[in-house]
Amino acid sequence: MGPRTILIADCFASMIWRVDLSENGRSASASIWLKHYSMLYHPGELKPEQPGVNGLRFSKRSSYVYYTSTVLKLFMRVRVDRETLAPLGIPEYLGGDKMMDDFCLDEDAGVAYVTTHRENTIDRMSLEPDRHEEREIIAGSPFDKELVGPSSGAWGREAGEMGRVAFFTTDGGTTALPPDGILRPAKILRVELWH
């Protein structure tokens, strides 16, 4: 978020923590940054257990924090005050209906590439709240045995890869068996994306 400020999703406490580091980086202070019903963890409702607030990204360009809430099947955003780095207003709904995990932001295209871990897909979703119906599955439908349990994602670091080449981790089905019932080795996949 800032040079010495980070946010941490706490999926079991149903909140986002703010951690401020000292100038020398040797000490830190933590405080609750945001607690909202969209982040709730519901123990015992699903087996295996599913986290509440999960994936978390800050956009310096738009001054929004984006997050997923897996058990509630939500993709959300909340505006950030540029001076204080505090949340402004209430979180906004960007989409839902899938058990979303992590994501990569492509601000140039105005979309996020969201993993649906237990549902074995990567979905492209709008970063604007009035366009949630524009969601599109870009990988994993029909079922793709190479994309079982996609979890975290990050853009490639080579020149020209931002918004075009991403790397996604998979768990091979250890969290939820894939449709064919076969466990596979966990992987890191290189995915080329298009708009």
User: Hey, what domains does the chain have and what are their CATH numbers?
Assistant: 43-192 (2.120.10.30)
* pLDDT given at position 175: 85
What does the alpha-carbon distance between residue 168 and residue 171 come to, in Å, rounded to a whole number?
10
DSSP letter, residue 117:
G
* pLDDT given at position 195: 61
* pLDDT exceeds cutoff 80 at 48: no
Nearest to 186 by CA among 154, 156, 152: 152
What does the alpha-carbon distance between residue 180 and residue 178 come to, in Å, rounded to a whole number?
6
* pLDDT given at position 63: 96
Percent of the chain residues topping a pLDDT of 70: 99
Torsion of CA 108, 97, 37, 177, to 10 degrees: -100
pLDDT digits (tens, 9 = 90+) for 172-185: 998 888 899 999 99
Structure-token match 């906004």, residue found: 92
What does the pLDDT average to over 80-91? 96
* pLDDT exceeds cutoff 90 at 9: yes
